[in-house]
Amino acid sequence: MTNNVADHHPGNSVAEGNHEGDFGCSVVELRNLMELRSAEAVTRLNDSYGGVQNVCKRLKTSPVEGLSGNPTDLEKRRQVFGQNFIPPKKAKTFLQLVWEALQDVTLIILEIAAIISLGLSFYHPPGGDNELCGQSAGGVEDEGESQAGWIEGAAILFSVIIVVLVTAFNDWSKEKQFRGLQSRIEQEQKFTVIRKGQVIQIPVAEIVVGDIAQIKYGDLLPADGILIQGNDLKIDESSLTGESDQVKKSLDKDPMLLSGTHVMEGSGRMVVTAVGINSQTGIIFTLLGAGEGDEEKKVKKAKTQDGVALEIQPLKSQEGVENEEKEKKKVKVPKKEKSVLQGKLTRLAVQIGKAGLIMSAITVIILVLYFVIDTFGVQGRPWLAECTPIYIQYFVKFFIIGVTVLVVAVPEGLPLAVTISLAYSVKKMMKDNNLVRHLDACETMGNATAICSDKTGTLTMNRMTVVQAYVGDTHYRQIPDPEAILPKILDLIVNGVAINSAYTSKILPPEKEGGLPRQVGNKTECALLGFVLDLKQDYQAVRNEVPEEKLYKVYTFNSVRKSMSTVLKNGNGGFRMYSKGASEIILRKCTRILDKNGDPRVFKVKDRDEMVKKVIEPMACHGLRTICLAFRDFPADAEPDWDSENEILSDLTCIAVVGIEDPVRPEVPDAILKCQRAGITVRMVTGDNINTARAIATKCGILLPGEDFLCLEGKEFNRLIRNEKGEVEQEQLDKIWPKLRVLARSSPTDKHTLVKGIIDSTVGEQRQVVAVTGDGTNDGPALKKADVGFAMGIAGTDVAKEASDIILTDDNFTSIVKAVMWGRNVYDSISKFLQFQLTVNVVAVIVAFTGACITQDSPLKAVQMLWVNLIMDTFASLALATEPPSESLLLRKPYGRNKPLISRTMMKNILGHAVYQLTIIFTLLFAGEKFFDIDSGRNAPLHSPPTEHYTIVFNTFVMMQLFNEINARKIHGERNVFESIYRNPIFCTVVLGTFAAQIIIVEFGGKPFSCSGLTLSQWFWCIFIGVGELLWGQLICTVPTSHLKFLKEAGHGITKEEIPEEELPEDVDEIDHAEMELRRGQILWFRGLNRIQTQMDVVYTFQTGASSLQGALRRQPSIVSQHHDVKNVSSPTHVALSSVNSTPTTSAVAAAAASPPAGNQSGECVP
């Protein structure tokens, strides 16, 4: 077994000036090369190119030094091979958005009505002035007025245009913000390359063909390349092939590395051979038409979940591409289930819409019937042909009134309020170090009831330093003096640290004078390197002596091994291996230990136990991580079998044990206290030793003295929750998680099990909403499973960021608390808006309805209604959705999933204010003319000029809404509605702006708005009645809600009775419940088809040889995927399915379809 290192030719591109000559291979050749896999690729590489070194030569680059970084050279490479950039989907133009906004049904109805009304107003029938048509032709109007009949139609069209433009503009700015966000996420991604022999990080977009890139655990490869040198490299290619097994990469077996795949283990260097649209991912994007690029990304994300790849065929096949196209049409839905809020809002909007529709229909019917009975029945007039247009005009007018009632009843401002509120929050959350990748995550965070946090870097500073050491039988409580340690032990420590750590980890001088040295790379390794520097030794000299190429074999660190080992070949043909890792793991494998003379002595089990007691536990109880350094020599006679890891990693000699401190961030204990006050449980999940974890948890305030909380190790946790078969039992888990606060020595699978267990649990009255932080590649499943996944912006790997919903740009726990605050704020903003909006709706609908029934004409005209609708919907949603959050949000418990949007208090406010407004308006309507001493506006004929009377009604209505908007700022029944109103400039602007616009409309609106100017005293009365709203609001506050038992809440989430827990799709995209029923049938049907197809393929294969085996295998994953669906959409009552399928063979299928045993939680399904 040789190390995967290619020989290094001295031909160094930096020296060669020959950049004008063309490169030795074209884009097409490289592209064809990259399409090959494993053995095929190796053969082609060696035959056509003479190995990877020659590819480097042809690309004019040096495998060791990299490119020169000369701008002209880089530019030329970009021209020949393209940029590392996949063009994004074209944004929708403003006109497209306008067109989309016009698709709204109510608006279309209004437009049609307005056009008919316009047409009729221009049509003057010959016998129009016939006496016989009754008083419908209108009393005392002069000629000019009858010409103005078109104005109402035009005004309606005009207001429709305004509404459409406003909606389109909002969509457009949202889109723009989202693009900004995307590009920011893309710019943040950097990659390590070697240029001029220097290791530097450059943005992914600047990588060119010929760059030498360093790849390590956790990277998302940004371009295609060929491996030059690798240690234990394993790659997850499921995003391209749909195969979830990790692929081992080595020079002699499979050196091809593809963009978009994840490095799961190991490290290495590659030469970049294809970037941007020429890379494998890029080719797929182009096949799908880069236009759909964004959706494709989402589809891809939705498909690999729980570690099971749900892709049906490899994407390269044409069939696969068509499938993708179909998929894309289906999958245009948010990640996970619809967010809680969206679900509640959709239900509420539908309910209100139905009510509005019924009201408007009744209004129209009553108006028409009354008119017909009055004209033809009571007055007994005949229907004359020449009068038809006039009658039709009346009917159109009635129809328009009906539609306006509908328009006002439907709260189309709701989606707008949500969008504005979320977009505003997301923008502001950027300042609070939260980069939100999925809009709905922001609002889900406000419902969070549990946070599972990592320890390192989130709760602690992630600045590790060695503070204690146990070397040569002596326990040093601080860094020992180099003189105190024997030179041969010192030498072992320095080599063991310098060689057996990633060469990308290093310590650089501080940026500012007097600052701390900068730690680059893995922080634990940096701590050990710092220890070497503290011992006045130089690790760089050792690394220069033993460059990476000379390392014979590397077992890289991963979460299973929890250790790292590096093998070197000695001059005499023997081998030496250095190991480091978690002390309890390495010490178990040690059979000797160096004594104070530096000689190995036997290390028995009882010595080990004693050492754990005397050294390791005291260190851990101070919150230190303990790392053990060890080595082993292999004789020269026979080369060991490097693949049998257990034999290699045994019989070690312990050199030293060090204690590494990672101090708690000073602001964390306070943040955790806030969480606990806000009803959020914080749990710590860490890979560290249990004593270390306990010490840190106590410092943070996660564990409180005197409370009976659980601290478990991963092993113990699994023992408690799994049955004999090793499957997770939900009941067992339910006994543990409510008390569990610290899970130590946990693997990523434990983290996923815990998160899934808490989410699936039905113990409390609410389903838990769980947030999780993660930084490692293997945290992906847990991050995806959680309701909100936080990835670390600094320490996080690309894979973790890809799986997350929010990226913490400063890796700090306090930012999570800020996210909670913003999330709750979004929720409250929307409730405020609802409270305000529904009051308007209730009042406007009732006024229009009763007015129409009693006076044959709506007191609020169509155009006025549209104006009210515009201010009350669009502007109010702007004003109320942009309230900044306050700390007081963190003093209440989370709302939970099924708390209604409209609480009792809000219902009390809505109905209370509606009563006030209706009383005032009806008083004005029926007695206003006496009070103000003006002409009555009731029963005015068609096309009569606007009256002062109705103008006062309209104006008062708007004034009351304006002052009620201030009341709506508080939803929990607080008294002071003006509290910190100045902190929200948008609110003040909107209120004052609306007021100014109202003055203009009343005074100069004239015929289109059916307004006539008012005197000053009339204005004062209107405003005075409006201010009465504020006083009335105080009165409502004094009535205790608890006495009003009859009030109902509205806008519930989906309650448990309606759909059982198992039915919530696990990671499957949102499915409506009607659709679920369909899906259930479909799935069983598909599975049947699939079985048949697979069997036919198998039969066929036996007949024809192996040609179609491909097809059968290719379809296999789809069975898994269907199982997966079935599992998620399984019926809660297992009876239905099983009773249908009574035959023994299919009942097995049914049993699989009904939810699998609780243990089958990781998503592996047995086909």
Q: What is the mean pLDDT of residues 1113-1130?
A: 39
Of 261-270, 321-330, 767-776, 874-883, which gets the smallest average pLDDT?
321-330
Nearest of 333, 271, 283, 341 to residue 9 by alpha carbon? 271
Query: Residue 625, exposed/middle/buried by CB under 10 A (0-12, 13-18, 19+)?
Result: buried
Work out the burial of residue 771: count CB atoms within 10 Å of its CB; fewer than 13 is exposed, 13-18 middle, 19 or more buried: buried
Extract the tokens encoding 1012. Answer: 């006539």
Specify whether the CB–CB gap between 259 and 223 falls below 8 A.
Answer: yes
Alpha-carbon gap, residue 290 to 88, rounded angstroms: 7
Quickly tell me which residue has 């099983």 as its tokens: 1138
Is 137 a residue whose pLDDT tops 80? Answer: no
pLDDT of residue 1082: 53
Beta bridge partners of 191: 202
Q: What single string gives the DSSP state of each residue in 92-138? A: PPHHHHHHHHHT-HHHHHHHHHHHHHHHHHH---GGGG-GGGGGGG-
The stretch 381-410 carries a mean pLDDT of 75
CA dihedral 954, 956, 957, 959 (to 10 degrees): 120
The CA distance from 918 to 406, in Å, is 18
Average pLDDT (406-431) is 74
Q: What pLDDT is recorded for position 416? A: 67
Active centre residues (catalytic):
454
Q: Please state the rounded mean pLDDT for residues 366-374.
A: 84
Contact (Cβ atoms closer than 8 angstroms) between residue 848 and residue 392: no
Using an 8 Å Cβ cutoff, are 549 and 229 in contact? yes
Integer Cα distance of 430 and 809 in angstroms:
9
Three-state DSSP class for residue 453: strand
Residue 136 has pLDDT above 70, yes or no: no
What are the pLDDT digits (tens) for 455-484?
A: 877 888 878 889 999 998 888 888 888 888
The answer to whether residue 1153 scores a pLDDT higher than 80 is no
**N-to-C CA span, the chain:** 38
Task: Give me the percent of the chain exceeding a pLDDT of 90.
Answer: 6
CB 933 within 8 A of CB 901: no
Contact (CB, 8 A) for 214 and 64: no
> Helices marked H in 884-1039 — which ranges?
904-932, 948-967, 985-1004, 1016-1038
What pLDDT score was predicted for residue 413? 65
Q: In what order do the strands lie in the sheet with 806-808?
A: 434-436, 806-808, 788-792, 770-774, 450-453, 681-685, 740-744, 710-713
CA 231/CA 250 separation, integer angstroms? 8
For the chain, percent of residues with pLDDT exceeding 70: 76
- Angle in degrees, CA 145, 861, 991, rounded to 5: 120
Is the pLDDT confidence value at 628 over 90?
A: yes
Residue 105 tokens read as 């049904």
Predicted pLDDT at 577: 92
Look at 993 and 979; give whichever has higher pLDDT: 993
- Contact (CB, 8 A) for 789 and 808: no
Q: Taking residues 675-698, what's their average pLDDT?
A: 88
Residue 422 has pLDDT above 90, yes or no: no
911's tokens: 């109905």
Q: Which one, of 754, 752, 686, 669, lies nearest residue 453 by Cα?
A: 686
For residue 600, what is the enclosing H or E element? strand 600-602
Q: How many residues does the chain have?
A: 1167
**pLDDT for 694 beyond 80:** yes
Mean pLDDT of 486-499: 89
Facing residues of 305 across strands? 308
Residue 630, pLDDT > 90, answer yes
Bridge-based pairing of strands 518-520 and 553-555 is unpaired
For residue 1044, which amino acid is it? L
* pLDDT value, residue 815: 87
**Rounded to an integer, what distance in angstroms lies between the CA atom of residue 771 and that of residue 390?**
65
Helices (H), 208-251: 238-241
Please report, for residues 231, 366, 484, 654, the alpha-carbon distance to residue 614 in angstroms, rounded to integers and kept in the order given.
Answer: 37, 91, 21, 16
pLDDT recorded at residue 654? 92
Question: Mean pLDDT, to the nearest integer, of 436-440?
Answer: 78
The two structure tokens encoding residue 588 = 């178990």
Average pLDDT across the chain, whole number = 75
Q: For residue 1137, is pLDDT > 50? A: no
Q: Can you give the pLDDT at residue 203? A: 84
Q: Rounded distance, CA 432 to CA 303, Å?
A: 31
In this predicted structure, the answer to whether residue 850 has a pLDDT above a threshold of 50 is yes
Are 229 and 811 spatial neighbours (Cβ–Cβ below 8 Å)? Answer: no
822 neighbors 890 (Cβ within 8 angstroms): no
Question: What backbone phi and psi angles, to 5 degrees, belong to 288?
Answer: -80, 0
Going by C-alpha positions, the residue among 776, 822, 769, 823 that lies closest to residue 803 is 776
CA–CA gap between residue 942 and residue 393 (Å, rounded) = 9
Q: Between the CA of residue 646 and those of 581, 586, 588, what are the distances in Å?
A: 15, 12, 12
Q: Which residues contact 414 (CB under 8 A, 6 or more apart)?
A: 345, 348, 349, 830, 833, 834, 837, 877
For residue 868, give both structure tokens: 């009210």
Q: Residues with Cβ < 8 Å from 470, sequence gap 6 or more?
A: 476, 611, 615, 656, 657, 658
The band of 851, judged by pLDDT with boundaries at 50, 70 and 90, is confident
- Which class for 238: exposed (0-12), middle (13-18), buried (19 or more C-beta within 10 A)? buried
Mean pLDDT of 595-623: 88
Confidence of residue 1023 (pLDDT cuts 50, 70, 90): very high
Question: Residue 193 is which amino acid?
Answer: V
CA 947 to chain centre: 54
CA separation for the pair 432, 696 (Å, rounded): 25
Q: Which of 350, 162, 152, 363 is nearest to 853 (CA)?
A: 363
What is the predicted pLDDT for the residue at 653? 92
Note the pLDDT tens digit of each residue in 294-334. Answer: 443 433 333 333 333 333 223 333 333 333 333 333 333 33
Q: Which residue has the higher pLDDT, 367 or 1109?
A: 367
Residue with tokens 């067109």: 99
The pLDDT of residue 444 is 84
Residue 275: predicted pLDDT: 86
List alpha helices for 933-1015, DSSP H.
948-967, 985-1004
1148 SS3 class:
helix
Task: Using pLDDT thresholds of 50, 70 and 90, give the confidence band for residue 943.
Answer: low
Q: What is the mean pLDDT of residues 657-668?
A: 88
The band of 289, judged by pLDDT with boundaries at 50, 70 and 90, is low
Cα distance between residue 77 and residue 847, in whole Å? 72
Question: Which helix (DSSP H) or strand (DSSP E) does residue 590 occupy?
Answer: strand 590-594
Q: What is the pLDDT averaged over residues 1114-1119?
A: 38
- Residue whose entry in the numeric block shows the structure tokens 């959705």: 881
Most confident segment among 120-124, 343-347, 413-417, 585-589 = 585-589
Count CB neighbours of 39 within 10 A: 11
pLDDT at 1063: 39
Contacts of residue 554, defined as CB under 8 A and 6 or more positions apart, other chains included, come to 3, 231, 232, 266, 267, 564, 565, 566, 567
Distance CA 510, CA 517 (A): 4
Residues 528-548 have pLDDT tens digits of 999 998 888 888 888 888 888
Considering 6-15, 604-613, 854-863, 1128-1137, the range whose residues carry the highest mean pLDDT is 604-613
* Contact indicator for 453, 873 with CB cutoff of 8 Å: no
